[in-house]
Amino acid sequence: MTEYTAVALTTFFATIGPIDVATMFAAFTVATPRRERRRIAVKACLIALAILITFALIGRFMLDSLGISLAALRAAGGILLLLIGIDMVFARHSGATTTTTDETDEAIEKHDVAVFPLATPLIAGPGAIGATLLLMAEAHGDLLHQAIILSSLTVIVGLTLISMLMAGEINRFLGVTGMQVITRIFGIILSALAVQFLFDGIAQSHIFGGG
């Protein structure tokens, strides 16, 4: 159970990236009053959590409706998470965890960054959604493991909220180098988990004639 919890927490931390979200939040709200920043942060995290929990609860139904097997999801999810992990290790930005320049400009023009781009795609982005679907599919029929996944998800979103509220302090304490070190460490861990998911998916599919 401890190992399962560690996997869930690590996966969500890597795909959501609380520190990265906090940095973007600070940039988006640099001229926003403190009280309004708090409102935006809380709103963004609640919406993101609702999105991810929705995918967690209906994900199995979606997969069954589309005829997607667990083996295919493991393989595809492993590839997606591996790409994210590689980007984290080499400090590259991908559409799975960050916004494009056009998306950022649109959000600033609308003066509302809580829903977009903070809630999605920064917090509840393709990486986090894919990880949620994959972990919940792995735990299908096991209520305890599903509860662990949802609890881990809630913890990481809560940590993201705290990071957003303390964005200035975190940036000053860690600095650019410290943030890059943390990102690379979790990128390596996520890459290893992703490869394991990919191997499990290939093995379960029996595409190489395995029994």
* pLDDT over 90 at 180, yes or no: no
Reference 89, options 187, 192, 205; nearest CA is 187
Supply the pLDDT for residue 48: 98
Alpha carbon distance 6, 104 (integer Å): 33
pLDDT in tens, 54-98: 999 998 899 889 998 888 888 888 898 899 889 888 877 655 555
Domains of the chain: 2-204 (1.20.1250)
Question: How high is the mean pLDDT of the chain?
Answer: 87
Flag whether pLDDT at 210 surpasses 70.
no
* Rounded percentage of the chain residues whose pLDDT exceeds 90: 46
**Which of the listed ranges 13-27, 42-56, 192-206 does the model predict with the highest average pLDDT?**
42-56
pLDDT at residue 131 greater than cutoff 90: yes
| Nearest partner of 185 among 169, 170, 174, judged by Cα | 174
pTM value is 0.80
Amino acid of residue 132: T
Could you tell me which residue, 111 or 123, shows the higher pLDDT?
Answer: 123
Confidence tier at 2 by pLDDT (50, 70, 90): confident
In the three-class reduction of DSSP (H, G, I as helix; E, B as strand; rest coil), residue 69 is classed as: coil
Rg of the chain over CA atoms, in angstroms? 17
pLDDT score, position 100 = 58
Share of the chain above pLDDT 70, in %: 89
Output the pLDDT for position 124.
Answer: 95
Residue range 8-15: mean pLDDT, rounded:
95
CA–CA separation, 107 and 99 (whole Å): 10
